[in-house]
Structures are given as C-alpha cells and as structure tokens.
Amino acid sequence: MKMLIGGQQADAQSGKTFDNINPYTNQVIESVADGAHEDFEKAGVLAKKAQPAWEALDFFKKAEIFDKFVGLVKENIEAISRTMCAEGGKAISECRGEVECLCVVFDAYKEAARHFYGHTVPLNAEERTVGDLIFTLREAIGVIATVTPFNFPVELYAHKVAPALISGNAVIIKPASDTPKSAYLLTELLHKAGVPVDVAQFVTGSGKVFGSWLSTTKKVDAVSFTGSTPVGMELMRGGANNLQRVFLELGGNDPFVVFSDADLDLAVAEAAGGRCWNSGQTCCANKRFLVENSIKEEFTRRLVEKLKTVTMGDPSNESVMMGPLVSEKAAIQVEDQVAHTIRQGARCILGGKREGAFFPPTVLTEVTPDMDIAKDLEVFAAVFPIIGFDEFEQAVAISNQTCYGLASGVITNDYRKALRYAKAVKAGTCVIGGSGNYRSVHQPFGGYKHSGIGREGTGQTLLEMTQEKSIVIKKIF
C-alpha cells in the first residue's frame, strides 16, 4: 500500500516498507510504505499551498462534497468494514457500526459548521469605541496533522478530518501503522467526492518518525492526536518549537462504580458490554470496577457467568462478539500486566492467559486500592479488576487516585447519590446508569489530567480548529 501525496500513489523515497498483519490469521495483508521526514515534508508543502483556495471555496460547495463523500462511504460500507476487520481484528458487526458512525459524524459537522457564527460586540461598549462597529469571523488555522489510533481507525478519522476540512483547513492524515488501509480507502473516497488531492494528504510510517518531523516542520499549524499519554506529551514538547496547536485525547483508567442499591442485572450488563466492546481496546472503557462490599460477591458471580457467554474467534464471523487484540505483541503486554497484578496479591478467577493475539475476558478479585491496576496501570483488554469499598467517600477517593480522568460510570437507584458522584469524580465524562464507554458527536469528549487537552465534539472542535478575527469599522454610526 502506498501513500497518497499530491493525489499520486507514492512509495517512501527510501523504498522502505512495513507489513500490515491480520492479527487473527497472523498473515501479511500487504506491505505499506514506511514514510520518513522527506515524504512528510513533501505532503506538508503541497497542503500548505493548497489550503487557502480550499478555505475560500463556498461553504455550500464544501457541504455538497461532504454529502457526496457520505454517499460513497455508504456504497462501500462492506468493503471498508471488511478491511477494518482484517487489519484490526475487530468484530465485523462493530466494524459496520463504526462506518455508519463516520457518516453521522461527517453529517453532524457539516450542519454544525453551517451555523458556526461570529458575533458582534455591543455598540458603544466603552467611550472610546462610540460609533464603531466591531464584529468577528472564524477562519481556518491552516494545515492540521490528524493522527489516529488503531482501535477506532474509521470513527476517529471522522472526528478529526471532518471538522478540519469543513472549517477550511487542509489535512495530513496519518493512521496507526496497525490499521492503515481503512483510512486509505476513506481518503480515496474523499478525493473522489471532490476534496482536492493536495488538501487531503495521506501518509504512513512510524509514529515516532512522524512525531519527530512534526517537531521540526513549519508546514503544520496544528496537530490532532488520539493515542497514549507519553506520545501526547512528546507531541506537546515538539509542537512548542513552532507554536503548533496540539489537541490531545489520551489514555484512561476509568472507574465504574456500583453502589449497594444498584440493579445488579443492569450493572453486570453495562460492565460486560462496555468492557468487552472492541475486545477491551477502548480509551473510555471502564477499567476499574469499584463495587460496594455488601454486593461485591454477588456482582462478581453474575459477572463471571455473563462473561462465560462471550464468544471469541474469527472476527469476520457474524456470531463472534470478540476478536483478537490488534497484535500478539499487545496480548503479551496484557498477559504481563495481569501477571504483575497477581504478583501484587490479586486472584484471577476467569481467563488470564492469552492464545496468540487473543485475550479472553479476565476477572481479578482481591484487588486493593494500592495496586498499580487500581491507579495508573491502563490495561487495553477485557480485564475486570474488582475493587471493594464501603463508603461513598472511599469510592470517590479510589476513582480519583489515578493520573487519568477520561470517563466514568456509576450504577445506583439513588439519583442524588449518582449526581453527587458525577460532580465529585475527576473525569471528562460520567455516565449515570451505564458504562463510561459512551460517546456522542455532540458531547464535549475529552479528559482531565493526563487524559488529554481540549475536547472533541460539534460544539468544541470547530472552535479549536479555527481562529477568531476581529474586524472594526470606525465611526460607522
């Protein structure tokens, strides 16, 4: 698979490639161009030159291009879904749902941008401005590098590329090396729909090398990144060199709190469904399960029974609920994390051992608040550490003892208690009555602390991906 630079299929100038591997079969899908600084800079030069004309294009014409793109995606939903399933190991039903979500996101940003207004400063707001008219416009930043992770290669493509383009920016699209093909197909459809080829550049290669280039280039004005916290910190440091705007959606070790008055059937269903989605590889999935001690044993028993019904196997099989993790390397890391937690005193009562790239639903009991998994150890698989508590304040304290603050969930029949918890938890989202594994295109999605900077959502991203200009007409009145 080649890059798309200036609308041309391009090998890396070095000739280097890397393999895109199917984690279920462990077979190579294809070789992918391994781009470097010189490739990325070429894309940046072309994007920088093309951006002003794209920004100047009438909004209704951009909207027509978005409509055509969404139509093309819907025509190709099965091919895109099958590609995502093969390269990432995601269950095929989830893949289709993700492509449908992309269509919703592009439509939502198109409509939000249609009503993205400037404002007028009140006339005669101060003595020295009497008779002056002051109003504002929103203008594009310029060139935005969008860096997406492996776990949602299509949905997060939409959350970054759609607002960037509709607000007049050019984009340099850099997908995760584990899942580049689905993003390639989408970029081809963008071009087919009418986005100028220089406005949407597509590059592949090492994330570390791409980050290094971002820290030196003058062709990129902003970076939108979803991924790990350490990489996000590196991008912040690199962005300072040229005062790039850097938007970060990072990791989480999200709490899910079950109080003694909870509907246990609901609690178990939400815990299992939210954690097993995408085989547990979701930033906002609840990863620490705080259960009031008086019901902890019963909750755990029901959870284990529920998880025993989860089907694993070929992700292209319609009946399979969980496919493999994105790679065998990822499964090895999770197995090591579980073993580390057991060494710290936890007991594994379900799962715990990988098979190739597969990691089954795993339940850990006797987990205490001082263990790493109860604090800052983020596990990217369907692992359920059960942590007991007795008092409301204790649940809040355990929830907030992590360096992260992305999402949270709480189950209780006392909505006053739920709202108290939602106010007390240090997280960007709290879902009452459900799993924190929740996202709407219209909510301000993002995290506190080390979970990121900025928010993604129709009410926020258009502001972040544009800049405000004041225009003054002197003595007009």
Query: Active-site residue numbers?
Result: 160, 249, 283, 456
Give the span between the Cα atoms of 372 and 374, in whole angstroms: 5
Angle between helix axes 92-114 and 59-75 (nearest 10 degrees) is 170
Considering only CA atoms, which of 326, 380, 325, 371 is closest in space to residue 346?
Answer: 371
Question: What sign for the dihedral angle of Cα 451, 453, 458, 459?
Answer: positive
Q: Angle at the Cα of 83 (from 442 to 206), degrees rounded to 5? A: 80
Decide: 167 and 114 in contact? Cβ < 8 Å.
Answer: no
Q: How far does Cα 240 stand from its chain's mean position?
A: 23
For 281-361, where are the E strands, in sequence order?
286-292, 347-350
| Torsion sign across C-alpha atoms 314, 317, 321, 327 | positive
Contact status, residue 135 vs residue 161, Cβ threshold 8 Å: no
What distance in Å separates the CA atoms of residue 340 and residue 343, rounded to the nearest whole number?
Answer: 5
- In whole angstroms, what is the distance from residue 46 CA to residue 217 CA? 13
Please, are residues 200 and 122 in contact by the beta-carbon 8 Å criterion?
A: no
Residue at token pair 């590889």? 281
**Which tokens go with 189?**
């459809």
Counting every residue written for the chain, the total comes to: 477
As to burial, measured by CB atoms within 10 angstroms (0-12 exposed, 13-18 middle, 19+ buried), residue 115 is: exposed
Residue indicated by tokens 């999770």: 334
Q: What angle do CA 380, 326, 330 make, to 5 degrees?
A: 55
Those residues whose C-beta lies under 8 Å from the C-beta of residue 247, and which sit 6 or more positions away, are 222, 223, 224, 225, 453, 454, 456, 464
Contacts of 366 (CB under 8 A, 6+ apart): 345, 346, 347
